[in-house]
Chain A
Amino acid sequence: MRIGVITFPGSLDDVDARRGVRLAGAEPVALWHGDHDLQGVDALVLPGGFSYGDYLRAGAIASRSPIMAEVIDAANSGMPVLGICNGFQMLAEARLVPGAHTRNAHQQFIRRDQVLTVENASTAWTTHFEQGEEIIVPLKNADGRFVADPATIERIEGEGQVVFRYTHVNPNGSINDIAGVCNERGNVVGLMPHPEHATEPGFGPDTEAAMASGVDGLRFFTSALDALLARA
């Protein structure tokens, strides 16, 4: 199975995302924002970073990249798509997932090993988690405050489109502690924390067991791999 990772101008975590894909047992494929070509991949990752320096709004300019036409078509036809941090902001700007992001309520950039509760373990990227499971995934952002109007919040809460919730600490003022959401179909998932930074022992977040031992992020990619194998 081939999972594409798109590099935009200012992407930072595209290489880590490809590494996560490889560690999960899939073949990573490097894709370029300026192409109109998904190279026949089976799933897509929009990685983190600060595309276009967060100019206009975080993710806004990248979400209008040439390749996004193909990404939107693929997402709407059911391809698993994961947006991480800046990639989540792009998915929201492209209206592939609900909501938007603003500057963190405390105005600071923040980096921490963040506990999340898995609220929906049936999306393309979360089947290897248990419903209600607490996981640890590194978080690092400046514009991470998830917002939407009250009607949208009520709808996505009711429809199971809230996939991850910040637990113990709300690091940025996101409404209802929302850390990640999905589209109605559950194939497109976006979250602010970075699962690709929690895929290899010794390089992940600290856990109660040992320093840098957290690998909860790996299950995002193994979940997608399973979803693809089930469809094949």
Chain B
Amino acid sequence: MPTIVVEVMPKAEILDPQGKAVAGALERLGKSAFTGVRIGKRFELTTDGPADEALLTEVRELAVEMLSNSVIEDVVSVSVLDESPAGETH
């Protein structure tokens, strides 16, 4: 069953209170290597049919029009999940 992955992040200039809270927690834990944390979203869309170019085009449109809000977020990537044992997205 193919899975299409959409990743969305808050725009760099938008305050990300969640990320800021996690960054504060890391600092309190003494994890001083990190200068910032930002939290985004990952959507996994599964389909019974092939994840072909036509479907990917549709998902790219959906990613911009519905899964993200371009005022505050950017679509970072749209990819098909590789289901081979050493699976990586491509």
A148-B71 contact given A102-B10, A107-B21, CB 8 Å threshold: yes
Contact A104 B71, beta carbon cutoff 8 Å = no
Of the four ranges (under 10, 10 to 19, 20 to 34, 35 or more), the interface on chain B belongs to 10 to 19
**Assembled-state Cα–Cα distance A92/B71 (Å):** 10
Contact B14 A147, beta carbon cutoff 8 Å = yes
In the complex, chain B residues 59-78 whose Cβ is within 8 Å of any chain A Cβ? 66-67, 69, 71-72
**Assembled-state Cα–Cα distance A60/B67 (Å):** 9
Contact B14 A102, beta carbon cutoff 8 Å = yes
Contact B15 A100, beta carbon cutoff 8 Å = no
Contact A93 B69, beta carbon cutoff 8 Å = yes
Contact B71 A105, beta carbon cutoff 8 Å = no
Residues of A within 8 A of B36 (CB): none
Contact A107 B17, beta carbon cutoff 8 Å = yes
Residues of A within 8 A of B21 (CB): 107
**Assembled-state Cα–Cα distance A60/B69 (Å):** 9
Contact B17 A149, beta carbon cutoff 8 Å = no
**Assembled-state Cα–Cα distance A100/B17 (Å):** 15
Min CB distance A143 to B, Å, is 10
Q: Which secondary structure characterizes the binding site on chain A?
A: loop
B46 on interface, CB distance cutoff 8 Å:
no
B18 on interface, CB distance cutoff 8 Å:
yes
Contact B69 A105, beta carbon cutoff 8 Å = no
Contact B66 A149, beta carbon cutoff 8 Å = no
**Assembled-state Cα–Cα distance A56/B6 (Å):** 13
A36 on interface, CB distance cutoff 8 Å:
no
Q: Could you give, for residues 38-68 of chain B, a 1 whenever the CB lies within 8 Å of some chain A CB and a 0 otherwise?
A: 0000000000000000000000000000110
Q: Could you give, for residues 70-99 of chain A, a 1 whenever the CB lies within 8 Å of some chain B CB and a 0 otherwise?
A: 000000000000000000000011000001
Contact B67 A102, beta carbon cutoff 8 Å = no
A155 on interface, CB distance cutoff 8 Å:
no
User: Which of A64, A100, A145, A149 is within 8 Å of B69, CB to CB?
Assistant: A100
Contact A103 B71, beta carbon cutoff 8 Å = no
A56-B71 contact given A102-B10, A104-B17, A173-B15, CB 8 Å threshold: no
Chain A positions near chain B (C-beta within 8 angstroms): 56-57, 60, 64, 92-93, 99-100, 102-107, 145, 147-149, 173
**Sample of 8 more A-B contacts, CB < 8 Å, known A100-B69, A105-B17:** A56-B66, A100-B71, A103-B18, A104-B17, A107-B17, A107-B21, A145-B15, A148-B71
Report 12 cross-chain contacts, Cβ distance below 8 Å, ordered by A residue.
A56-B67, A60-B66, A92-B71, A93-B69, A99-B71, A100-B71, A102-B15, A107-B17, A147-B14, A147-B72, A149-B71, A173-B15
